[in-house]
């Protein structure tokens, strides 16, 4: 290392300027074992990203393997490592995140690209950071992009949420918040589907719905808590998606073929909560049910055995009378068709400010507690009021 020299003001002699700061721990950052360089290669273009070895070893499993395996050249003191087929700017952003624990995302698509990169190089902290950012960016405009991208990770399934049918001990043992990167991905999938539930009337009419693969589309169509003003919205969505599938497969667009590509999804609409007029209007587009099922639903609607009448005694009597000539399988199917959807969607998992429970209506939060069989606090308040009223009377 060459130190600077300076002339002595009075004598004209020169002297060496000694550094006043204490030596950096571990010595010079360019010494072997501290500084490394990744050379990002895209065709003939090369981009060098310099960083500290320690931050890489602590943040990325796959990059740590590359570093520990030794330099690309094979020379002992060479700290250069080749990286192929990645975006140089995104790769450098990832490396800088290792150093600073901060990254600035442009939009949800850029966040998804960084997530894919973080998953490729197995960077747990960055994966979780991306998931939280994507949850913050979730809207009716972005949710289908996020949902489709999550299917890139084959092992992802919705985060398990306890239900009211489980025992109290099971619900208490159930994990309420994600911990591992895989659990965070599952939680994001859960929140994406929850947002679709809340905005189903808008999202199910999007043209992008027809681009979904069967597994993606199935996960949405089978949702119990879709907040729909009318089941016609789901019926029309199934009709549009089946028509696009027929075009992709290059087969005749008959009703039978459209039912085949939909499979069991033809039974997802709650047909008996529709009016007879709406049901007939749907049949004009496509008959999702076969002839026998169509006639059974039509007759149930015309005889007042649907689900529109609610649970009043007249409606119950009509249902009982209609069911007398049906098989157990048919009764079970019609019961499913007339079951109304829940008044509220389930609450999301708290991953960001967007999914904070405080940002959701009080009725929705209370409904969630009732679903889980928890006390909403009202009973405790009532007991407290009665207790203080008793004391007031006692001392009066």
Q: Give me the pLDDT at residue 151, please.
A: 82
Domain ranges, ordered by start, for the chain? 27-89, 228-340
- Name the residue with tokens 């109304």: 340
Indicate the range of 183-192, 221-230, 320-329, 373-382 predicted with least confidence: 373-382
- Which three-class secondary structure string do you get for the chain? CCCCEEECCCCCCEEECCCCCCCCCCCCCCCCCCEEEEEEEECCEEEEEEEEHHHHHHHCHHHHHHHHCCCCCCCCCCCEEEEECCCHHHHHHHHHHHHHCCCCCCCHHHHHHHHHHHHHCCCHHHHHHHHHHHHHHCCCCCHHHHHHHHCCCCCCCCCCCCCCCCCHHHHHHCCCCCCCHHHHHHHHHHHHHHHHHHCHHHHCCCHHHHHCCHHHHHHHHCCCCCCCCCCHHHHHHHHHHHHHHHHHHCCCCCHHHHHHHHHHHHHCCCHHHCCHHHHHHHHHHCCCCCHHHHHHHHHHHHCCCCCCCCCCHHHHHHHHHHHCCCCHHHHHHHHHHHCCCCCCCCCCCCCCCCCCHHHCCHHHHHHHHHHCCCCCCHHHHHHHHHHHHHHHHHHC
- For the stretch 118-148, pLDDT in tens is 999 999 999 999 999 999 999 999 999 999 9
Find out whether 113 and 90 touch, Cβ atoms under 8 Å. yes
Q: Give me the pLDDT at residue 76, please.
A: 66
Find out whether 347 and 334 touch, Cβ atoms under 8 Å. no
> Per-residue pLDDT for 116 more than 50?
yes
Crossing angle of helices 124-137 and 181-198, rounded to 10°: 10
- pTM value? 0.81
Nearest-angstrom CA–CA distance, 80 and 71: 6
pLDDT band at 233 (very low <50, low <70, confident <90, very high): very high
- For the stretch 78-102, pLDDT in tens is 788 999 999 999 999 999 999 999 9
pLDDT band at 186 (very low <50, low <70, confident <90, very high): very high
According to the per-residue pLDDT averaged within each range, which of 7-11, 41-45, 292-296 is highest? 292-296
Top pLDDT among 318 and 172 is at 318
Find out whether 36 and 81 touch, Cβ atoms under 8 Å. yes
Beta bridge partners of 38: 49, 81
Top pLDDT among 32 and 55 is at 55
Q: Give me the pLDDT at residue 153, please.
A: 76
Indicate the range of 74-83, 218-227, 303-312 predicted with least confidence: 303-312
Find out whether 171 and 162 touch, Cβ atoms under 8 Å. yes
> Per-residue pLDDT for 187 more than 80?
yes
- Quote the percentage of the chain above a pLDDT of 90: 65
Average pLDDT over residues 68-85: 81
Nearest-angstrom CA–CA distance, 386 and 396: 15
> Per-residue pLDDT for 24 more than 60?
no
> Per-residue pLDDT for 75 more than 60?
yes
- For the stretch 259-302, pLDDT in tens is 999 999 999 999 999 999 999 999 999 999 999 999 999 999 99
């Amino acid at each position: 290392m060459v130190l600077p020299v300076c002339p002595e003001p009075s004598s004209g002699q020169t002297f060496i300027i000694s550094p006043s700061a204490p030596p950096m721990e571990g010595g010079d950052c360019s010494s072997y074992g501290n500084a490394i360089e990744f050379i990002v290669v895209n065709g003939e273009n090369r981009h060098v990203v310099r960083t500290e070895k320690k931050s890489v070893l602590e943040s990325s499993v796959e990059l740590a393997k590359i570093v520990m395996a030794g330099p690309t050249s094979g020379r002992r003191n060479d700290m250069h490592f080749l990286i192929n087929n990645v975006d140089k700017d995104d790769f450098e952003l990832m490396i800088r995140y290792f150093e600073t624990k901060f990254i600035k995302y442009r939009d949800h698509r850029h966040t998804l690209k960084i997530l894919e990169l973080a998953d490729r190089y197995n960077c747990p902290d960055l994966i979780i950071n991306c998931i939280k950012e994507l949850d913050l960016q979730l809207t009716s405009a972005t949710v289908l992009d996020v949902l489709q991208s999550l299917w890139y990770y084959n092992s992802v399934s919705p985060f398990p949420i306890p239900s009211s049918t489980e025992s109290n001990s099971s619900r208490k043992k159930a994990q309420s918040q994600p911990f591992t990167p895989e659990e965070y991905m599952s939680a994001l999938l859960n929140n994406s589907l929850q947002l679709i539930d809340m905005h189903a009337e808008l999202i199910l009419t999007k043209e992008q719905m027809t681009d979904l693969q069967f597994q993606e589309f199935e996960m949405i169509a089978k949702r119990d808590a879709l907040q729909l003003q009318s089941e016609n919205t789901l019926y029309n969505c199934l009709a549009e998606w089946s028509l696009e599938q027929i075009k992709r497969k290059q087969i005749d667009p008959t009703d039978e073929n459209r039912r085949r590509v939909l499979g069991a999804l033809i039974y997802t609409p709650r047909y008996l909560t529709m009016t007879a007029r709406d049901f007939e209007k749907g049949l004009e587009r496509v008959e999702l049910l076969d002839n026998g099922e169509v006639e059974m639903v039509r007759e149930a609607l015309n005889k007042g055995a649907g689900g529109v009448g609610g649970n009043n005694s007249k409606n119950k009597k009509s249902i009982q009378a209609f069911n007398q000539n049906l098989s157990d399988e048919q009764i079970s199917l019609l019961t499913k068709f007339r079951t109304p959807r829940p008044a509220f969607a389930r609450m999301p998992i708290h991953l960001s400010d967007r999914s904070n429970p405080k940002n959701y209506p009080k009725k929705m939060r209370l409904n969630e507690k009732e679903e889980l069989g928890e006390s909403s606090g009202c009973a405790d308040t009532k007991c407290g009021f009665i207790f203080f009223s008793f004391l007031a009377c006692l001392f009066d």
